[in-house]
Chains A and B, each alone.
Chain A
Amino acid sequence: MSFAILTRSLTKRFGNTAALDGVGIEVPQGAIYALVGPNGAGKTTLIKVLMNIFGPSSGIAEVQGLDSRRIRGKAFQRIGYVSENQEMPDWMTVGDLLRYYRSFYPDWDTELESQLVRQFDLPLDRKLKHLSRGVRVKAALASSLAYRPTVIVLDEPFSGLDPLVRDELIEGLLDRAEETTIFLSSHDLAEIESFSSHVGFLENGRLLFQEEMASLAGRFREVTVTLEGHVSVPREIPVAWLQAEAADSVVRFVDSRYEPEKTKREVAGAFPGAREVSIDPMTLRSIFLAIAKNGRGRLASRAEMESQKGVSA
């Protein structure tokens, strides 16, 4: 299987600090891959290594099969990049910016450019420095989509945007999702949940797991077991049960390897006198909280092994 983005044992050090520590990411062609994690997790560093803004300290990083250290010049004719903190030529108008970039891309599609300008409602005659943050990001995105890149990388593109602009941007991205691979970072799980096909969780420079969104949502369930009388959490429970807690006659836990029959069997085995068992799907946010609270280190190695299978599948 070919990957649009691939890293293996990728490490980036700044002095004695490891911003990235042995990260292995696989982004399939055509995926919408969301790299999530708290602030300072290393998301921007990873993206900057992929874009050859930083060189890796060790390991491999590839975009469309090209070593990230060789990504420069013409290689950017098929890679798009939009970042929340990217400087832009503020003295230019939006129209100047688009005209200026045209000469850099042989595949620049002026028709698509016009379409994007209309779709994002961009004011062509206004200088970038006079635009709101949302319109600037839209202008940056339009200038990164008009040449139909095969990979587009977005670093916290929705950070600080109002919901309307965010939806416009997502819509604009999804309209081109069929012809490109989208790799974006975010610390807000809710904003990427609705449209991402894959998700990776980065924390303290380490990738805790990565998985297809459908698979992730499918294997996590919140299980609530109601029993007779006061109960406590049994000593021996399956390792996939996270955050198990008991209150009065109710036991709650998160099953991280949910399979309907298997889970029912395990619940029946652990709680023979169960009066009621309810199994509910979880939001991405709840899943991440469960993972985070359960002790990331223990889960990381196991989940990563599973996710390898999931992504490969």
Chain B
Amino acid sequence: MKQIAAVFTKDARRFWPEIAVSVLLLAVFVMVYPVTWQHNSMVAETFAGRFSMGEGGRGFLAACLVVLVPVSWLVLIARVVHCERLVGDTQFWLTRPYEWPKLLAAKALFLGAFLYLPFLLAQCGLLMEAGFNPTGYALGLGLNLVLVTVILILPAIALSSLTRGFARLMLVLLGFVVILVVVNVIASYLPRVGNGGAPELISGEIGFFVLLIGCSMAVWIMYAMRRLRMGWIVLGGSLLLLLGMSWADPDRAVMERFFPANRSAAAQVIEMSYAAEGLRQPIVRDTRDKDELEVSIPVSSSVLQPDLAVVPQAQRVTIEEPDGTRWRSPWQRYDRAAFLPGSNVSSISFILPRRIYEQWKGASTGLNVEFALISAKQTMQRTIALPEGDFTVDGFGICTPWSWYAKRREYSAITCRSAMRQPLLTYVTAPWADDSCSKPNDEKGGKMMATAWAGNLDMAPAQMGITSVWSPQLNFSNAWNIHAGAPARPRILCSGSPVSFTQFRLQERMTVQMKVENFRFPEIMSAEQMAATD
């Protein structure tokens, strides 16, 4: 303990400027970030998030801090690890009675005190600022720390322990970026059907554990044995595995297991059928990739149970000729909105290689479309008379009506914030008013409903983020009142209007099949035909 305390104190004295900068950035982040909750901003919530330059200085600063805070952590980690450098043979500490578990413990204590503790306090501060009580989110806060550790901190420690100094570390990071770019460029030239692939099923967990085990082993190898080559082999191998995984797409391999077919329960949830009639006919059109075509097929779906939603995840198409010749596409991501009771699917689209189209064009084929679906059970429904200020929706978050212009009791949108993660999949509806809210109810319009989906079906108590407060986007449909010959006008939400939040929870994964006998691919639609159709 004496040794741990000595190393910790030494590091704290040595790196107080780096600590001060890191804590200061985090403090500014806590002060500035709430600006992004004020309306439907597109400010980044994660590194892969979105940036907006149009929110003035504070919004831009918040977006910068989302990057700067982790960069300051990287500097802090690199400096404290390189202080007792593990690479080389001339370091003073190698011939002193340092015990590696204590050295590692001292470094962990340092990060605990000057990285994790400020980060945890910042997360709690943001929650409180957003109106959430942090004590109610202990599990989520803990999980976010674990995720940040595995995805950011541990790789930074591993890379620092394998490099001589900060400059070398930066070069290595640059090298990784170059490798990623090269791999992506190469991958873009390799033939693949469709984009997106299967929905994430196991790749996230595998990637998490590969990163956790690979980085932990590299750190252990360096601290316990100082075997540089072995450390690089382990870390490099882990990164290669991650790169290989993104190419091999392990989720496709387990689709059948996660989305079982032919279950009686599945058949009752939803049925899809081919519905070509009159003007509703299959369409084939070009895509940006000259080797691929997009095929749209008119379909209809059966009526859902009242408390269910069905969320399409992916689809796979099999084309079969009477002589037994067949072609099957890989699973392709399905990006349309969820189905609700009362809604009816009108068409589906899939990507087809041009050579397959040319092969079967004009022939009578059997078409089999498999839909990987998730049925989600309704777990909560709240209807709230839209207030003028903040209102809490249990299980969803805290929302605020918002307007582009200052007019009492009339709003353009609803902004929301949720704690530690995006909320569970939620369907939000509210009646639009075409005109002023001050008019009597029967003159406001109000026939058109504003609808929006927000959240996801993930059940984890937290998503990885520098922020602990997320902003679910309620992008309401039918937001503009469009009449021929008149300028489009934005619709409004009136104070006191009923706003419904219906939340769903994953119930079952399933595959539903749709078979079309004697299907014939039509001619590729020309640009003129497409323009006329649009």
* B438: interface (CB < 8 Å): no
Closest to B6 in A: A103
Give the interface SS of chain B, mostly helix, strand, loop or mixed: helix
Q: How large is the interface on B (under 10, 10 to 19, 20 to 34, 35 or more residues)?
A: 10 to 19
Judging by beta carbons under 8 Å apart, are B96 and A104 in contact?
yes
- A278 part of interface (Cβ distance < 8 Å): no
Query: Does A195 sit at the interface, judged by CB under 8 A?
Result: no
B457-488 vs A, CB cutoff 8 Å, 1 = contact: the mask equals: 00000000000000000000000000000000
* B91 on interface, CB distance cutoff 8 Å: yes
Determine if A105 and B95 form an interchain contact, defined as CB atoms under 8 angstroms apart: no
* A5-13, A72-80, A257-265: which lies at the interface: A72-80
B6 and A100 contacting across the interface, CB-CB below 8 Å? yes
* Closest A residue, CB atoms, query B84: A89
Chain B 89-102 interface 0/1 with A at a Cβ cutoff of 8 Å (1 = within): 11110111111100
Closest to A54 in B: B89
Residue-by-residue, is A99-123 near B (CB-CB < 8 Å gives 1, otherwise 0)? 0110111000000000000000000
Nearest-Cβ distance from residue B383 to partner chain A, whole angstroms: 64
Q: How far is the CA of A152 from the CA of B351 in the complex (A)?
A: 74
Contact present for A104 and B5 (CB under 8 Å)? no
| In the bound complex, CA of A105 to CA of B14 (Å) | 22
Q: A85 — which chain B residues lie within 8 A by C-beta?
A: 90
Q: Are A51 and B94 in contact (CB under 8 A)?
A: yes
- A51: chain B residues at CB < 8 Å are 94-95
CB-CB contacts below 8 Å: B214-257 with A: none
The docked-state distance in angstroms from the alpha carbon of A51 to that of B97 is 12
- Knowing A86-B90, A87-B92, A104-B3, say if A77 contacts B97 (CB, 8 Å): yes
Of all chain B residues, which has the CB nearest A91?
B14
Q: For chain B residues 66-115, which have a beta carbon within 8 Å of chain A?
A: 83, 89-92, 94-100
Which of chain B's residues has its CB closest to A88's CB?
B92
Query: Cβ of B280 < 8 Å from any Cβ of A?
Result: no
Min CB distance, B101 to chain A, in Å? 9
Contacts of B328 in A (CB 8 A): none
Q: Does A220 contact B (CB under 8 A)?
A: no
B3, B83, B90: which has the most chain A beta carbons within 10 Å? B90
B382 interfacial by beta-carbon distance below 8 Å: no
Contacts of A104 in B (CB 8 A): 3, 6, 96-98
Which residues of chain B have C-beta atoms less than 8 A from A83's C-beta?
Answer: 90
- A53 and B91 CA atoms in complex are apart in Å by 10
- Answer whether A86 and B6 are a contact pair too, CB < 8 Å, given A73-B97, A73-B100, A105-B97: no
Residue A53 contacts which of B2, B95, B97 (CB distance < 8 angstroms)? B95
Assess whether A183 is interfacial by the CB under 8 Å rule.
no
Q: Does B489 contact A (CB under 8 A)?
A: no
- Assess whether B10 is interfacial by the CB under 8 Å rule: yes
Closest A residue to B13 using CB positions: A96
A76 and B2: CB pair below 8 A?
Answer: no
- Nearest A residue (CB) for B101: A73
List the A residue with the shortest CB-CB distance to B2. A103
Q: Which residue of B lies closest to A102 (CB)?
A: B6
A101 — which chain B residues lie within 8 A by C-beta?
96
Instruction: Find out whether the CB atom of A87 lies under 8 angstroms from the CB atom of B91.
Output: yes
**Interface digits, B431-467 against A, CB 8 Å rule (1 contact, 0 not)?**
0000000000000000000000000000000000000
The answer on a CB contact under 8 Å between A89 and B92 is yes
Instruction: Encode contact with B along A47-67: 1 for CB under 8 Å, 0 otherwise.
Output: 010010110000000000000
Contact assessment for A81 and B95 in the assembled complex, using a CB-CB cutoff below 8 Å: yes
Q: Are A76 and B97 in contact (CB under 8 A)?
A: yes
Q: Which chain B positions have C-beta within 8 A of A105?
A: 97
**What's the Cα separation between A274 and B159 when bound, in Å?**
76
CA–CA, A272 to B3, complex, Å? 74
Interface centre among B90, B91, B95, B100 (most CB of A within 10 A): B95
From residue A312, how far is it (CB to closest CB) to chain B in Å? 30
- A87: chain B residues at CB < 8 Å are 90-92
Q: How far is A151 from B522 in the complex, measured between Cα atoms in Å? A: 90
